[in-house]
Amino acid sequence: MIMGSAICWRAIKCSSFKMKEILGMKTMCVQVRNYPRFYTTLSRVCLTSCTNYYRHYKTCDNSHYATKASHKKQSTLELQMTRFLDEFKTLDPVVNSVRIKQIRPIVSLIQSIDQVKSDMKSLEEMGTDKIEDKEMKSLCEEEIKTYQDELVNLEHKLATAIIQDEDQFEHCTEVMMEISAGVGGQEAMLFAQEVYEMYIGYGQHRGLDCQTVVFSTSEMGGLRQATLNLSGPDCFSYLKYEGGVHRVQRVPKTERSGRLHTSTVSVAVLPQPKDIEVAVAEKDLKIETKRASGAGGQHVNKTDSAVRMTHIPTGIVVECQEDRSQIKNRSIAMDKLKRLLYEAQFEEQETKCKIKRKVQVGRKTRNEKIRTYNYPQDRITDHRIHKTLYSVAEFMSGGSALHELIDEIRTHDYAFRIDQLLS
């Protein structure tokens, strides 16, 4: 309807230009009064024109619009491919060695895709319909089919690699997990301790290194807050899906009337990045020299030994006149600058981690849950993928049942994001 409206408007616009040609610069209201029959006819012409345009739109071949949509689907991934190739070309091997290492596999996949497309194009240009030999024609068609399957597989791998690159903490091997009792008072604290023990069990099941950093209990039993440090391969890429509000439904031991209570525990999973790249390109520096100032001495106010260094992208300025040698002062100034840049990058990552924590923890209310543990029904429900499991005791041990659920959530998340990227 939007397209039809646009076409109708174009028809009206064209007709209005035609009216202006006929009328010239005379006032329209005067002409309408003097020649009502003429304007009635002209209005009918305009209406007929609009109707014809709209009918043409309704009866047009939809394959044209489908082709445009197909091109749009392809261009999304191609746009990402171009972006990574352009970035790879501009990176300095000395300055950006870490980033080059990160995106080299992506660039390699892009090159493989380009090669497969080139081979497919060569085969298609031959034209299978022009080949008279049946055996040769069959071989050619099979080869094209093989290339098509390979292209789909490579594009899927590329989309996965791009998604992993978008999350800079994806390959982080160390996480800090915060477990806090939420709504529910004493019952929430008791469940918080069970959740803590579940993740200890999960760490042992996965072979992760687990260390308890904070363990704050309540006087009546249970856990107020605990902080775990877990490290190992793919640690954050799995555990990040555990961040959020965990809801428990059960009859507390202290409940005499047997009423079902609902309590919550919040879990925050924060990556602990270590590989912060601090590299400074010469083109990003503005270096000025001046004469040193101070209490006195032979070098003061006689040689340009003092160095002032400005990092153009960030505007950070450092100065050094500690040594008589300009070369040594430059080296000291560079060390100072790198330290300040490291601190800036570290603070940026800390801010991102805090944002992640705020998103995961929320307000700790019952309606923000990611998972429900229902003890009377012996049921666990993950609300993100609408998955229901049974045997709460086995699940709370942190073994294969928990790992399989996390793996399924991870697969679902990747599939959704890949679909978003390719659509």
3-state secondary structure 166-207: HCCCCCCCEEEEEEEECCCCHHHHHHHHHHHHHHHHHHHHHC
User: Can you give the pTM of this predicted structure?
Assistant: 0.59
Position 102 in a domain = yes
Query: How many domains does the chain divide into?
Result: 2
Residues 100 and 149 in one domain: yes
Q: How far apart are CA 19 and CA 127, in angstroms?
A: 53
Residues 120 and 149 in one domain: yes
- Please tell me the predicted confidence (pLDDT) of residue 4: 41
Q: Which residues of the chain have pLDDT under 50?
A: 1-30, 32, 53-73, 299-300, 364
Residues 91 and 8 in one domain: no
Residues 54 and 77 in one domain: no
Residues 18 and 84 in one domain: no
Position 398 in a domain = no
- Please tell me the predicted confidence (pLDDT) of residue 379: 96
Position 106 in a domain = yes
Q: How far apart are CA 415 and CA 409, in angstroms?
A: 10
Residues 55 and 75 in one domain: no
Q: CB-based burial of residue 234 (10 Å sphere; 0-12 exposed, 13-18 middle, 19+ buried)?
A: middle
Position 347 in a domain = no
Q: How far apart are CA 187 and CA 198, in angstroms?
A: 17
Residues 122 and 78 in one domain: yes
- CA-CA-CA-CA torsion sign (45, 51, 53, 56): negative
Please report how many Cα atoms fall inside a 13 Å half-sphere around the Cα of residue 38, on the Cβ side: 10
Q: How far apart are CA 287 and CA 319, in angstroms?
A: 10
Residues 98 and 117 in one domain: yes
Q: How far apart are CA 202 and CA 402, in angstroms?
A: 8
Contact partners, residue 114, CB within 8 Å, separation at least 6 = none
Position 173 in a domain = no
- Please tell me the predicted confidence (pLDDT) of residue 338: 79
In terms of Cα–Cα distance, which of 35, 6, 2 is closest to 19? Answer: 35
Position 203 in a domain = no
Position 363 in a domain = no
Enter the tokens of residue 229.
Answer: 């440090």
Position 364 in a domain = no
End residue of a domain, out of 59, 86, 108: 59
Helix, coil or strand: residue 209: strand
Residues 78 and 151 in one domain: yes
Q: How far is CA 37 from CA 12, 24, 60, 78, 408, in A?
A: 20, 18, 35, 58, 73
In terms of Cα–Cα distance, which of 393, 416, 390 is closest to 405? Answer: 390
Residues 54 and 75 in one domain: no
Residues 47 and 133 in one domain: no
- Please tell me the predicted confidence (pLDDT) of residue 11: 42
Domain that holds residue 80: 70-166
- Please tell me the predicted confidence (pLDDT) of residue 265: 95
